[in-house]
Amino acid sequence: MTGLVISAVVFDLDGVLLESEQLWDEARREVVADHKGTWRAGATAEMQGMSSLEWSSYLRDELGVDLAPDRIVELVIERLFQRYDRRLPLVPGATEAVRRIGQRWPLALASSSNRVVIDKVLTVAGLRDAFQVTVSSEEVPRGKPAPDVYLEAVRRLGPQPNECAAVEDSANGIRSAEAAGLHVVAIPNHDFPPPDSVLMTADVVVSSVWELSVELFEQLGNQRGEA
C-alpha cells in the first residue's frame, strides 16, 4: 500500500488501550472451573478476537461448561467487572495517545468486548467523547479474525477502508484489520504476542502506545514493517 492519505484511525480496545487480555483469560478460566468444564491448552489463543456469542459457545461446546451461552457471558463479565472496579487496567500512555491522534483524525473503536464493557471502560477512562464510532463484535455477524467489526466501524465513519489505519495487538486482530483492507499499526501484546509471520504483515510495528504519533500515521504509506 503506497501513496496513502489517512482519513481516520480505528483502535482496538483490549491489549491496545487496556492491559486486559490476562483478566479476560482469568475470568473465563474461573467460570470453566466453577462449572465443571475443562480448560485445555490453546484455548486462550483460539478465543482471542471472538465475539461474546462465539467464545461463550466455545466454553460450552469445547470446554464443557454446562450453561447457556447468555449465562456464561453474564458470569464472565461479572468477574471481569470485579477486577475493573478494583482498578481499570489502562495501558500507560493510552489516554494521551487517543487524544493526540484524535486531534488530527476522526477515531473509531473496533473491539471484541461486549457493548456493556466498551461503554463502562470509556466512561471510567473519560474517553467517551474521543470516539465518533464504537463497534462491538457482538453487533456484527462474526468476530475477529473476520473483517466484520472493522468494516462496520469504517462504514459508520465514512472513509474507504484503504484510507483508514487500525491499531492492533493480537494475531487475530491484525488479521481482521488486514482482511477489511485497513493499514495496520501493530503493538504486539506482551502476554499473548502474535507470531512473527503475522507481525510481518503489519505496515508498522511499534513497542508501545507512546510511539503512536501523528507523524507515524502521516508517513504510513512509506513504511512497512518497521517504526
Cα 141 from Cα 176, distance rounded (Å): 13
Given the residues 14, 148, 169, 203, the one annotated as active site: 14
Cα 63 from Cα 150, distance rounded (Å): 29
Cell numbers describing residue 23: 483478566
Given the residues 12, 148, 169, 203, the one annotated as active site: 12
Cα 40 from Cα 208, distance rounded (Å): 31
HSE value, Cβ hemisphere, 13 Å, CA-based, for 195:
5
Neighbours of 88 (CB within 10 A): 14
- The sheet with strand 204-205 has its strands ordered as 133-136, 107-111, 8-11, 164-168, 183-186, 204-205
Q: In the annotation, is 14 catalytic?
A: yes
Cell numbers describing residue 170: 493480537
Q: In the annotation, is 203 catalytic?
A: no
| Backbone φ and ψ of 9, nearest 5° | -125, 135
Helix (H, G, I), strand (E, B) or coil at 103: coil
Cα 200 from Cα 136, distance rounded (Å): 27
Cα 193 from Cα 45, distance rounded (Å): 10
> Strands 107-111, 183-186: parallel, antiparallel or unpaired by DSSP?
unpaired
Residues belonging to the active site? 12, 14
